[in-house]
Structure 1
């Protein structure tokens, strides 16, 4: 009996040890991988000393604030659909309240090539028409609103400047430090002027190695862009408000805006979700052609003449400027987990 009791005790001990071993093995198993969540949201805000768009100030060389909100749907790691809304404070000749952007598109990636194709709408609510005459110089009646508003320098501007562009971008990542890209934007009516617009540019960016500033978490990059803006002929609203150089009358068929080059180069510093970007921007638009294109309400008579700007009024909105921009950019999947 004693032998049977000892055998039973040994079997029980062996069985218990085996169960404990099984439990230990189960405890060491890795947890299941989290399910792929295709949805994400990017959002951010910025403050800058000057809001410059393609070499031309949108804020009269004054500070501007901006914000955006962009839901995203990732089909997989190489294909993303997105929509977004953004806003910037501006200072336009028609006194529009702000710039509101509504956009959407698709971002496919093929190895080192990343594409971005979409449509971007620029809305400028709250604008007012400025013309200063009951009829244009060709005798066509204007709205009562236009007749009661005039810019002191003689420029004219429509109430609604809203327009849209279709665009395509491509970036090629050489390695962890170098990225190059090209962009293309087209609109049938730039700033609702009636003139088509086509903008193309080349871009480059060098990102410093992550060890540049030790373990501080600070990153740095240098980037630049060279672009060209082609423009068509405006509608008669703008052409009939200006006398010709020979004094023979207006431009009844509108103004053929001057094409121009623009470029910028800058350095940026990143820390967590913050970026400080310091940039120089310029164009080759003359003050005369800048005035004809922008209808700058601050432009003054300073001897700036050109075939499309015979009044001698010149604008400083297209000249060289320095831009300091502090921005915050987050994504829900990365920063809010």
Structure 2
């Protein structure tokens, strides 16, 4: 598998009142923005999934990706992450097959187990099942992606003689990613030979994943590592960072609430100045952004890196200038350093 660097953007479609937009207008604006970014040569569009959040946090990413696929030619779509306990794996496999055909083979899938208690309550599931639902869901997806008829019998799911139709455009189905916040998550990803979405300092997830892949006789160089590490490209930090930082505080307030309700499980890293960890921002001119992102790519051995495109409460147009410089000035220099091409 090629290890060229891929760069892109992430969307959660959160729309608090501060944006002044209706949900319909936000969706329409983002659709237009993605078509524009596709033309600028970005490689990836990622989504996140959460449920029952007041500001409209995206609960269903595949329909959005399908709509975007009809407006784009090159970007690949994925999720960081699709919450597997809330998605029946056979239905998910079918939806991915349809999206793979609509997009011409431009879909990947990142999964995680979820942790927010209100989501499990909303779906009528005990939180205690999240591990078994995720592990069995991964097993089913792997079987479904073979394109063959299969049977499965587990604690949560049991099927006899099923086959996903239509078939996948991509041989072997969409590339599979698994999120890991801990060693247990890292081992889960390695068990199924998945690419990794490390959600914290590398010692907690990346290093155990690499070690387990090697122990199982798998080549880490044949796998990909992806992270959200956002970038605000600006020549005037004081002028532009304030609004984005406020929006990021809105984002983190929801994750902090999830974490408190779950007793400290899950969540993402907070806004940290001066420390290279996922989910934090690089803010500055082109030279600064290239330098900081390059150091981060080396530290984690990244193959895929995406930036939040529209922080909660901002409008797509508010981020347009930064995103254009990210696509035109930052991304090409990083590709030149680590491999990759906007025409690949």
Relative to its length, the structure with more strand (as a share) is 1
Question: Structure with the greater relative contact order (CA < 8 A, sep ≥ 6): 1 or 2?
Answer: 2
- The structure having more radius of gyration, on CA atoms, is 1
TM-score band, normalised by shorter chain: under 0.3
TM-score (norm 1): 0.26
